[in-house]
Structures are given as C-alpha cells and as structure tokens.
Structure 1
Amino acid sequence: MQAIIDSLFTPIGQDGMVGILLIWSGLKVTLAVTLLATLLGSVLGICTTLMKMSSHWYLRWPANLYVSVIRGTPVVVQLVILYFIVLASLDVDKITAAVIAFGINSGAYISEIIRAGIQAVDKGQMEAARSLGLSRGQAMKEVILPQAVKNILPALGNEFIVLLKETAVIGFIGGVDLMRAGEIIRSRTFEDVVPLFTCAIIYLMLTYSFTLMLSQFEKRLKQSD
C-alpha cells in the first residue's frame, strides 16, 4: 500500500491528476474493506447465532460475551487494539487488519440481525414442522430459515451501508482509504474545502446508491408475499 502511495505522489505534471488517483485508490480500499468485512461478518454472525440459540450454556456464554463486548465498544477502539496490540507481533498489513477488525465488529451486529429474523417467524411454524416428523435441524433449514430470509436480507443491506461509513476510521492505523486520501491531499495542498467535500460527496453517492438498490430489493420481496 505504501508503494502505491509513493507512486501516486511521483510528479506527473498535474497536481489535480495526482489527487484524483489518490482518491480513486482510497475509494477502492474503502469498497474492498467493506465487502470483505461484510463477508467475514456474515460467517461470524451465522456461527454466533447458532451458538446463541444452542441449548448448551458453554456455547451460549462465549457468544453472548462476544456480542456484548463488540456492541459495547467503539469500532475505532477495536481497530486500534487489534492492529497495535493483538496483531502487533504478526506481519499483517493495514488493510488486512482493517478487514479483520470490521469483520469482527460486523459479525456481532449481523448475529443479532439473523437471530431477530429467526425469532420473528411464528413459533407455530416450528411446532408444525416437528409434528410432521422433521428434526429440529430439518425444520430450521426447510421451514424457518426460508421465511426468516425476507426479514434478514434488508437488514443485512443496511448493515453494509453502515459499515461503508464506519470504514472512514481506517486512517487511525495508517491505512489509506477514501477519507485518509482526502486528508493526505488536504495536508499537501493546505486546501480544506475541496478534498473534504469531495470525500463527503462520494460517501453520499455511495450510500444513496446502495440505499436505492436496497429499497428496490425490498419492494421485490414485498411483491412475492
């Protein structure tokens, strides 16, 4: 990543083009971290949900502790602790550390989203499935989860949008995301308005686009009811 930054600052004739390239590089980092962290968070969320809904206390206890700790501390604190303390002895680059940190953070929220979606399905559905001879696992897979998906997917889309905005703190560990790119340009040009408003507009365009796609997706889900 540092090599990319150094290459962007190599004189190419126009300072404006250097800034555009830096913004573009930061935007790609922001989108990559958001996507990968969402995927990691989804895996962690599913596992945590299964643990929390287990009948065994030794599975529920660590899952509840994980959700409580992650939801009770700011994501920037988790990011800094993970990079400078937990992964300090390992040769992990800043972007990978950011993906892990945001993935762990997102996993706690996705876990609650999935749990709420499952619990929103009427309990009679499980009882009816069990009365037909299905095991608890089969009933969950064949009856409960298909109904819960409609409640889960829109909320997961909202989590993706929230995570996109939260990645603006990657600069705390030296990663060059969209916001950090704007800060670098501002420090070099001593111009505050253009780089900061550019970052704000890009974030606004991204969140508005994803929100619009999410609303269209929700309409299609309602039409299938």
Structure 2
Amino acid sequence: MSMAWQALYEQLSALPVADLTGTQSFLLKFCKAFLVGDRWKLYLQGLGYTLELTVIALVIGIVLGVVVAVIRTSHDQQRPGHRNPALGVLNFVCKVYTTVIRGTPMMVQLLIWGFVIFKTCRNHTMVGALGLGINSGAYVAEIVRGGLMSVDIGQTEAGRSLGLNYLDTMRFIVIPQAFKNILPSLGNEFITLLKDTSLVSAIGGTEMVYFAQAVGGKTYEYMFPLLGIAVMYLILVMILSWLQGKMERRLRQSDRR
C-alpha cells in the first residue's frame, strides 16, 4: 500500500465509526478489502486459480464431449440392418451419462465429487476441475452432436466414396463444417463454465470466491470483496465474448471467399 493510502487508512481508522461520513466509510472499507496487507494480491492469486480451473475443465469437457458426440452420431447414422452391438452399448452408456449430468444441478454434482467420491482427497481444486469438466462434457456432447447431425449425410458418403475412412471423413469433412454451426453455442458453454468455477469454493477449492470470502472473514465486510470479483468475472466474460465474436467474423469472411 502506498504511503498516501497508508496515511489515509490510519487517519480514518483512528476516527470513531459513528463519526465517519459516507465517503470516509467507503474509503475505509475499500482500503481494508484491497490495500491493507496487499490483499489485492489475493484476488490476483484467485484469478490464476480460476483460469487454471477453467482451462483444465475445458480440456476435459471438449475431449469427453467430442468422444460422446461421435459415438452417438455414429450410432444414429448406422444403416438399417447394419447395427453394431458394441456401438449400441456405448451409445446407451453415453445417453445415461448425458441424461444424468444434464438432469442434476452442478452444485450437487460437485458436492458428490468432493465429499463422497473423493472425500479423502486433499486437492479439492483439482476435484472441482474434474467435476466441472465432466459436467461441461455432457453439454458439449449435445452441442457437437447437434452440429454433426446438421451436416448433410451426403457429405459423409462423399468422403467415404473418395476412399477416406470414417475418422478421416469426420476429421476433414464433417467436423470443420459442423464447427461453424456450433461455435456460438460452444462459446456460450465456455463462458458458463468460467462462471461455474465459482461453485468450487463449496467443496473447499481455491478460486476467486474462496479468496474473497477469506478477505471478508478478516474484515467483517463482504460487499467490496464480492464486488471486486464480480467485476473481474465481468471483464473475463467480456474478453471471451469479444474473442468469440472475432472468430465468428473470421469464419463468415472465409465463407464469402
């Protein structure tokens, strides 16, 4: 804390609370929440954990979602009379997974992961990342599956007629076309995932809410810490929304060419 803020804080702290004006009370609470003891560094530390949580959960969600979407799409696009039993079993498992995850609250899932399945684990942050990733995977799966099903089946047949196997057909023909259709929905899901990291504090994970609550517990004033992290979340969401819009514009420009 700079010398000027330090002097102001000491001056305001010496005054009786009843004698403080509205502006003085505001400045005193602001100093306690962000400047005393360099507490602003705690918010930056929480920001780092939040971004780490988001990236890990994002990777898990994308990998899991794409695998589930490909399995379900492959099952649905089988020709009559050419059903693969193993694919049918995998499709059933994927349907149960998406139904259960999408049909239960995120908070309940995190509590189960943290206090039931991994109750002996001390790294609650990574448990939270796993729970967020598995939850996001179910939504990503449905988004990707919808995008894959939106691509005309003739595209797949054309790829197979050119000698491509199923994976190459999906990789080079179907998925690039589907990606343009699902980008807005995927972007919204990733923004939701970022905000859902705030729930990890419920199982003892460290992120921005965790540190805001810690500061509030020390100062007995929660308004400024919570407002501070709310602004940080808002800035992150605005940045992600800007990046999403920029990517969508580039894709539209490539279509015109």
1:149 aligns with 2:183: no
Which amino acid in structure 2 is aligned with residue 48 of structure 1?
V
Q: How far apart are 1:174 and its partner, in Å?
A: 1.2
Q: Aligned runs of 1:132-211 on 2, under 5 Å?
A: 132-211=162-241
| Aligned positions of 1:45-194 closer than 5 A | 45-55=65-75, 56-89=87-120, 91-194=121-224
SS in 1 for 2:39: helix
**Structure 1 counterpart of 2:10:** none
1:30 equivalent among 18, 41, 50: 50
Letter in 2 for 1:100: L
In structure 1, how many angstroms separate the alpha carbons of the residues matched to 2:108 and 2:179?
A: 32
What SS does the corresponding residue of 2:139 show, helix, strand or coil?
Answer: helix
SS of the residue aligned with 1:191?
coil
Matched, 1:216 2:236: no
AA aligned opposite 2:61: G
Bigger CA drift: 32-41 or 185-194? 185-194
- Report the Cα distance in structure 1 between the residues aligned to 2:63 and 2:109, rounded to whole angstroms: 19
> 1:129-182, CA deviations, whole angstroms, 9 ceiling, x for partnerless residues?
344454444432332122112223443222211101011111111122111211
Other-structure match for 1:9: none
Deviation at 1:42, TM superposition (A): 0.9
Query: Counterpart of 2:9?
Result: none
What does 1:4-19 align with in structure 2 at a 5 Å threshold? 16-19=36-39
User: For residues 15 and 149 of structure 1, what CA distance do their matches in structure 2 show?
Assistant: 45
Q: What is the identity percentage for the equivalent residue pairs of Structure 1 and Structure 2?
A: 39
* One-letter identity of the residue aligned with 2:42: L
Gap change, CA 1:40 and 1:198, over 3 Å in 2: same
How many positions carry a matched residue from both structures? 211
User: What is the alpha-carbon distance in structure 2 between the residues aligned to residue 92 and residue 189 of structure 1?
Assistant: 27
Question: 2:60 — aligned with what?
Answer: 40
SS of residue matched to 2:206: coil
Deviates more, 1:143-152 or 1:35-44: 143-152
AA aligned to 2:67 is C
**8 A Cα contact 2:144 2:182, kept in partner:** yes
Structural RMSD (CA): 1.8
Q: Which amino acid aligns with 2:203?
A: I
Query: How far did 1:81 drift?
Result: 0.3
Indicate if the aligned counterparts of 2:61 and 2:136 stay in contact, CA closer than 8 A. yes
CA distance in 1, matches of 2:71, 2:164: 21
String of CA shifts for 1:166-225, please: whole Å, max 9, x gaps.
111111111221112111111211123211111111111110111011111111111110
Unaligned runs of 5+ in 2: 1-33, 76-86
Q: What code does the residue aligned with 1:189 have? A: T
SS of the counterpart of 1:53? helix
